[in-house]
Amino acid sequence: MLRARLSIGGYYFLLFAAVAFTHPFFPVFLRERGFSYGQVGAVLSVFSLAGAVASILLGWRSDQARRRRRYIIGAISIGAAGYLLFPYVYNFGVALLLAAVIGACVMSSQSVMMALVVDLFRHQGTAGSFGQLRVFGTIGYLLVLLMLVLWQDSPLLEPSRMFNSVALLLMLSALVVLLTPENPEELEESARLSANEVLHLLRRHDILLYIIAHFCFVGALMTATANLSLYLQWMGASKPFISLAYMTSALFEMPFMVLMGKLSDRIGRTRVLAIAFLSLPIRLLLLTVLRAPVPVLLTQTMHGLTFSIITAVSMAFIADRVEPRLRASGQGLLMATASLASATMPLVAGLIADGWGLPAMYGTLLSLSLAGAAVFFTLAKHTAAAEARINAVASTGGRA
C-alpha cells in the first residue's frame, strides 16, 4: 500500500498546490478585470454547479466501469488545459464558459479519487486513511502560500504566469495518478446505475438529512472562505497579508485533518461532525462583526475545527451508509451537494455584497450555518446512538 499512499498523496499535494494560487487570488483577478461582486459570485457559482453535475455523472461512470484512475487523469488534464486560457479572458460570458469546463473536470476528479481511496483503504479505517492522504494537499497548499508570503510582489501572481503554474501543477498531478494501483477484480460488483440510484440514496432519511446539513455547512464555509480575500482587500490588507491569512488556515487544517479522521474511526462520525457544526457559526459570527485584518486573520485558526472535519469525516459518514456497489455514486452525491452549495451561495452572497456590503454577506452566511446545524443535530440523535451500539459490539468482539 506504500505505492498507493505515495501516489494519492502526490495527487493531493500537486492539486492543492495549484489551488493555493486560485483560491485566494482568483476572485481578486476577476475584480481586477472589472467584474462586479455579483459577477464574481456568478463565475464561482458556475464553476461549482458544473462540478456538481459532473461529480454525479463521473461517479456513475466509474462505478459502472469499476475503474477510477482513467477518469481522474482525463478530467484533471482537461481542467489544466482550461486554466491555460484564463489569462486571456476579459468577457464575462467567456469566463462563465471556462469556469464551467474547469469546475466540471477538477471537482469531479476529486469525487472519483475519494471513491478510489475507499476502494483501497476500506479495511484500514476509511476516515483516518483519507485524512492522512488528504493532508498532503494541505502541505502543498501551505508551501505555495508560504512562498507567496515570503516572496514580496511575486511575478507568479501575474495572471499568465499564475494560470500557467496552475496548469503545470494539475498536469503533474495527473501523471502521478498513473502510479496509483487499481485492482478492479477485487472490488465488489458494480451495478449499472441510473438516476433511480441517486433517488434511492436520497430516499434514505439519514442520507437526505445529512445532504441538507452538508449543503448548508459547505455553502456557508466555502463562500466565506472564497470571499475572504475580497474582505481583507476591502479592509486594506496587502496581497502578502492575504496569503498569510490563507496560510494560517492551512497550518491549522493539517494536523486536524489527520487527528479528526482517526478520532471519528474510534468514537463515531457523528460526534466529530458535531464539533464542526458547532464551530462554524462561531467562526462566521466573528467574521460578521470584525472590521480589521489582524482579528480576521485569527479566525482562520478555526479552520481545523470546520473545514478539516467536514472534509475528512463527511466522506466516511456517507461511505458507512451506502452499498458497496454505489460507493462512487455516494461520494459523487456528496461532492455534488458541496458543489451545488458552492454554486448557489457565491452568487447570492455576491448580490448581497453588491447591495448591502461584505459584512451583510457574512451575516447571511451565519444564518445558513445555523440552519445546517439545526438539521444536523436533528439527525445526530439517531446516528450517534447507532454508532455507539456498533462501537460497543466491536469493542467486545460481538459478545454481550
Span 2-60, pLDDT tens digits = 777 788 888 889 998 888 888 778 888 888 888 888 888 888 888 878 887 887 777 76
pLDDT of residue 167: 92
Which comes out higher in pLDDT, residue 2 or 174?
174
Which comes out higher in pLDDT, residue 198 or 311?
311
CA distance 341 to 336: 8
User: What are the sequence ranges of the domains in the chain?
Assistant: 2-175+194-395
Confidence check: pLDDT of 192 > 70: no
In the chain, pLDDT over 90 holds for what percent of residues? 17
Lowest mean per-residue pLDDT among 59-68, 72-81, 130-139: 59-68
Q: Which residue has the cell 476509511?
A: 126
Confidence check: pLDDT of 156 > 70: yes
Residue type, position 101, single letter: V
At 193, is the pLDDT very low, low, confident or very high (cuts 50, 70, 90)? very low
Q: Which of 390, 348, 109 is closest to 215 using CA atoms?
A: 348
Q: Which of 362, 397, 390 is closest to 286 using CA atoms?
A: 362
Residue 188 CB neighbour total at 10 angstroms: 13
Q: Which three cell numbers stand for residue 98?
A: 471556462
Q: Rounded to the nearest 5°, which phi and psi values hold at 326?
A: -110, 20
Which pLDDT tens digit goes with each residue over 385-398?
666 655 554 444 54
pLDDT of residue 201: 72
pLDDT of residue 217: 95
pLDDT of residue 123: 59
Is residue 86 exposed (0-12), middle (13-18) or buried (19+ Cβ within 10 Å)? buried
Q: Which of 123, 175, 168, 169 is closest to 7 using CA atoms?
A: 175
Confidence check: pLDDT of 336 > 80: no
pLDDT of residue 153: 72
Lowest mean per-residue pLDDT among 118-122, 168-172, 182-186, 207-211: 182-186
At 183, is the pLDDT very low, low, confident or very high (cuts 50, 70, 90)? low
Which comes out higher in pLDDT, residue 357 or 170?
170
At 327, is the pLDDT very low, low, confident or very high (cuts 50, 70, 90)? low
In the chain, pLDDT over 70 holds for what percent of residues? 85
- Give me the half-sphere count of Cα atoms (radius 13 Å) on the Cβ side of residue 196: 4
Average pLDDT, the chain: 81
Top-confidence range, 56-70, 154-168, 334-348: 154-168
CA distance 133 to 74: 21
Q: Which of 387, 374, 184 is closest to 270 using CA atoms?
A: 387
Helices (H), the chain: 2-32, 37-65, 69-85, 92-121, 126-150, 159-177, 195-202, 205-226, 228-234, 239-267, 269-289, 293-299, 303-319, 327-356, 358-395
CA distance 291 to 231: 9
pLDDT of residue 374: 94
**Domain spanning 2-175+194-395: CATH 1.20.1250.20:** yes
At 247, is the pLDDT very low, low, confident or very high (cuts 50, 70, 90)? confident
pLDDT of residue 256: 84
pLDDT of residue 395: 46
CA distance 131 to 309: 9
What is the pLDDT averaged over residues 93-107? 90
